Amino acid sequence: MAKYIIKGGKKLKGIIEIKGAKNATLPILAAALLAEGVYNFSNVPELKDVEVMMNLLRHLGLKIEKKEPHKYQITNKEIKNTEAPHELVKVMRASFLVMGPLLASRKKARVSLPGGCAIGARPVNFHLNGFENLGAKITVGHGFVSAETKELIGAEINLPFPTVTGTENLVMAAVKAKGKTIINNAAREPEVGDLCNLLNKMGAKITGIDADRLKIEGVKELHACDYKIIPDRIEAGTFIILSALTGGGVEIKNARLDYLISFVKKLKEMGITAVDVGGNINVKIPEKLKAINVMTAPYPGFPTDLQAQLMVLMSLARGESVVEEIIFENRFMHARELNRLGANISVSGRKATIQGGRKLIGAQVTATDLRAGAALVLAGLTAKNTTIINEIEHIERGYEDLVGRLQGLGADIKKQP
130 near ligand EPZ (CB under 6 A) = no
225 as an active site residue: the answer is no
Q: Which is nearer to ligand EPZ, 22 or 266 (CB)?
A: 22
CB of 330 to ligand EPZ, least distance (A): 10
Among 194, 251, 305, 337, binds ligand EPZ (CB under 6 A): 305
39 near ligand EPZ (CB under 6 A) = no
Distance in angstroms (rounded) separating the CA atoms of residues 61 and 82: 9
308 near ligand EPZ (CB under 6 A) = no
Q: Which is nearer to ligand EPZ, 248 or 332 (CB)?
A: 332
Q: Which residues pair with 110 in a beta bridge?
A: 83, 146
Distance in angstroms (rounded) separating the CA atoms of residues 90 and 241: 31
328 near ligand EPZ (CB under 6 A) = yes
Q: What is residue 303's three-state secondary structure? A: coil
Among 34, 147, 164, 252, binds ligand EPZ (CB under 6 A): 164
125 near ligand EPZ (CB under 6 A) = yes
370 near ligand EPZ (CB under 6 A) = yes
Among 10, 71, 122, 340, binds ligand EPZ (CB under 6 A): 122
Looking at residue 319, the DSSP 8-state letter turns out to be: S
The sheet carrying 344-348 orders its strands as 293-295, 320-324, 351-355, 344-348
Among 32, 47, 99, 124, binds ligand EPZ (CB under 6 A): 124
Q: Which is nearer to ligand EPZ, 233 or 358 (CB)?
A: 233
Exposed/middle/buried for 80, CB within 10 Å: 0-12, 13-18, 19+? exposed
Q: Are 125 and 87 in contact (CB under 8 A)?
A: no
Among 6, 12, 21, 26, binds ligand EPZ (CB under 6 A): 26
Which one of the listed residues 91, 117, 333, 388 is annotated catalytic?
A: 117
Distance in angstroms (rounded) separating the CA atoms of residues 288 and 294: 19
Closest CA relative to residue 12, chosen from 386, 382, 310, 272: 382
Residue 47 identity: L
Residues 70-99 close enough to bind ligand EPZ by CB under 6 A: 94
Pair type for strands 249-253 and 13-17: parallel
165 near ligand EPZ (CB under 6 A) = yes
Q: Which is nearer to ligand EPZ, 14 or 123 (CB)?
A: 123
Distance in angstroms (rounded) separating the CA atoms of residues 96 and 90: 10
Distance in angstroms (rounded) separating the CA atoms of residues 151 and 295: 42
Distance in angstroms (rounded) separating the CA atoms of residues 268 and 261: 11
Binding-site size for ligand EPZ (CB under 6 A) equals 23
227 near ligand EPZ (CB under 6 A) = no
Q: Which is nearer to ligand EPZ, 123 or 247 (CB)?
A: 123
Q: Are 312 and 244 in contact (CB under 8 A)?
A: no
327 near ligand EPZ (CB under 6 A) = yes
Closest CA relative to residue 378, chosen from 178, 235, 263: 235
Q: Which is nearer to ligand EPZ, 15 or 91 (CB)?
A: 91
304 near ligand EPZ (CB under 6 A) = yes
Among 11, 14, 46, 120, binds ligand EPZ (CB under 6 A): 120
Q: What is residue 398's three-state secondary structure? A: coil
- Which of these ranges, 122-130, 150-158, 196-204, 378-386, lies near ligand EPZ under the rule CB under 6 A? 122-130
Pair type for strands 226-228 and 37-42: parallel
Distance in angstroms (rounded) separating the CA atoms of residues 274 and 261: 10
Q: Which is nearer to ligand EPZ, 27 or 380 (CB)?
A: 27
Q: State the residues that interact with ligand EPZ by CB under 6 A.
A: 22-23, 26, 94, 120, 122-127, 161, 163-166, 304-305, 327-328, 370-371, 398
- The residues assigned a catalytic role are 117
